[in-house]
């Protein structure tokens, strides 16, 4: 089957997914989105995968959705759009997801970036939600996650004007965590992923869940969740190993138990 996604088997617990539709600047066709969702689900089941990186090419992370596809759907078509469930599956990925972004991350591409937990951007990356130029609005979290990431004024400016921002602006606004030389973005993402992959998997998973809770609950609920997660971890072997290794001044060996 010809694939739009290049999947590298996990090395040191890190799986690398490369969006590969060079003729379309990696536009997120429904097929590509479905492949991505399926790969993430496979990565979630795979015990050797402890973190996943998504990247595109030097020129484009993903330059949006497939406009031709979108044009074909009427109201009913959009109501029954399979993309919605693909996006939900991608956003539900429970292991750490890192986006290594070069070039354009626009529309659906920017929304995919915002599904990632950590974003490393090459200095020539550009982020934007240009949907408004087509008479539509972002439909996969672009109005919701962007506002939570960068705050209201910039989110409004980006979504209402359709104008993109560069990597430096995105860093300052909180949309990305780190900016690197373009050629080193994937490499840096791999470094960060390997560091995370060496931690206790259950702790990583609960930490991610707790952090995401902060975005959609009130503080009291979030704090309660954090405390429950904290308590849960007390029952794991890795916690005992982590603390003992610290006391014995040696590296910990986590087993995910």
What is the torsion angle, in degrees rounded to the nearest 10, for the CA atoms of residue 33, residue 174, residue 149 and residue 217? 110
72 is catalytic: no
Q: Which is nearer to other proteins, 114 or 164 (CB)?
A: 164
Secondary structure element (H or E) that encloses residue 30, with its range:
helix 30-45
Residues 179-218 that bind other proteins (CB under 8 A): 180-181, 183-184
Tell me how far, at minimum, the Cβ of 191 lies from other proteins, in Å. 12
x-marked contacts with other proteins along 161-180 as a string, rule CB under 8 A: -------------------x
Residues binding other proteins: what is the number (CB under 8 A)? 4
Instruction: Count CB atoms within 10 A of the CB of residue 112.
Output: 27
The answer to whether residue 229 forms part of the interface with other proteins (CB under 8 A) is no
142 catalytic? Reply is no
- Catalytic residue from among 37, 65, 193, 200: 65
Q: How far is CA 214 from CA 6, 22, 219, 225, 250, in A?
A: 33, 37, 7, 9, 33
Active-site residue identified among 27, 43, 103, 111 = 111
CA 204 – CA 45 distance, rounded (Å):
16
**Residue 111 annotated in active site:** yes
Positions in the binding site for other proteins (CB under 8 A): 180-181, 183-184
């Amino acid at each position: 089957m010809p694939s739009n996604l290049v999947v590298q088997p996990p090395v040191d617990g890190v799986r690398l997914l490369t969006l590969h539709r060079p003729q379309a600047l990696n536009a997120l066709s429904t097929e590509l989105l479905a492949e991505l969702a399926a790969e993430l689900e496979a990565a979630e089941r795979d015990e050797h995968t402890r973190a996943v990186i998504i990247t595109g090419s030097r020129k484009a992370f993903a330059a949006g959705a497939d406009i031709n596809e979108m044009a074909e759907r009427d109201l009913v078509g959009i109501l029954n759009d399979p993309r919605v469930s693909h996006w939900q599956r991608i956003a539900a990925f429970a292991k750490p997801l890192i986006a290594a972004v070069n070039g354009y991350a626009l529309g659906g591409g920017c929304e995919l970036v915002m599904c990632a937990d950590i974003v490393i951007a090459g200095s020539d990356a550009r982020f934007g939600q240009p949907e408004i130029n087509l008479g539509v609005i972002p439909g996969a979290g672009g109005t919701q996650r962007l506002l939570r990431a960068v705050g209201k004024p910039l989110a409004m400016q980006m979504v209402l004007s359709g104008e993109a921002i560069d990597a430096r602006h995105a860093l300052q606004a909180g949309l990305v965590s780190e900016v690197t030389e373009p050629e080193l973005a994937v490499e840096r993402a791999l470094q960060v992923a390997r560091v995370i992959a060496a931690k206790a998997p259950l702790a990583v998973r609960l930490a991610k869940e707790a952090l995401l809770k902060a975005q959609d609950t009130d503080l009291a609920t979030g704090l309660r969740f954090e405390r429950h997660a904290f308590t849960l971890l007390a029952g794991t072997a890795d916690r005992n190993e982590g603390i003992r290794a610290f006391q014995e001044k040696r590296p910990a060996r986590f087993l995910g138990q």
